[in-house]
Amino acid sequence: MTIHWQLEPWHLISDFVLEQRNSGSSDVDINLLSRPVPTGTSAGCVKGILLKELGLTKDAIIVSVGHDQIAAAIGAGVFDSNTAVDGAGTVECITPVLKITRE
């Protein structure tokens, strides 16, 4: 696999990363931090025997995504306010889609 170390900017750590990158006066080497990128940004590709082992095609790519519960909701097909998903892992989380009307 070939990947770039990056993160989706909605994670709390991205606030720290952005602050460190923008301040220029930190004790933290910003070159060691992941690069904040939008969801869906390519992080690299899967190569060689791993493609076959995973059953992927040669055009498969690795992308940055958001929070795991949001990714679970998208994977479960939760796209409107009539559905939700119950994700379980470190925490159990019901993820609905909320319909918000603005006045």
Closest CA to 13 of 29, 35, 40: 35
Residues 37 and 81 in one domain: no
Residues of the domain holding 94? 67-103
pTM for this entry: 0.49
Residues 72 and 62 in one domain: no
**Statement: residue 98 has pLDDT above 80:** yes
- Which contiguous run of DSSP H or E holds residue 2? strand 2-3
Q: Which two tokens stand for residue 53?
A: 């082992």
Q: What length does the chain have?
A: 103
Residues 6 and 52 in one domain: yes
Residues 19 and 55 in one domain: yes
Could you give the percent of the chain with pLDDT greater than 90? 11
Residues 93 and 103 in one domain: yes
Q: What is the pLDDT of residues 44-88, one digit of tens each?
A: 888 888 888 999 998 888 888 777 888 888 889 998 989 999 988
What is the distance between the alpha carbons of residues 103 and 97, in angstroms, rounded to a whole number?
19
Q: What is the DSSP string of 32-63?
A: GSPEE--TT-EEEE--THHHHHHT--TT-EEE
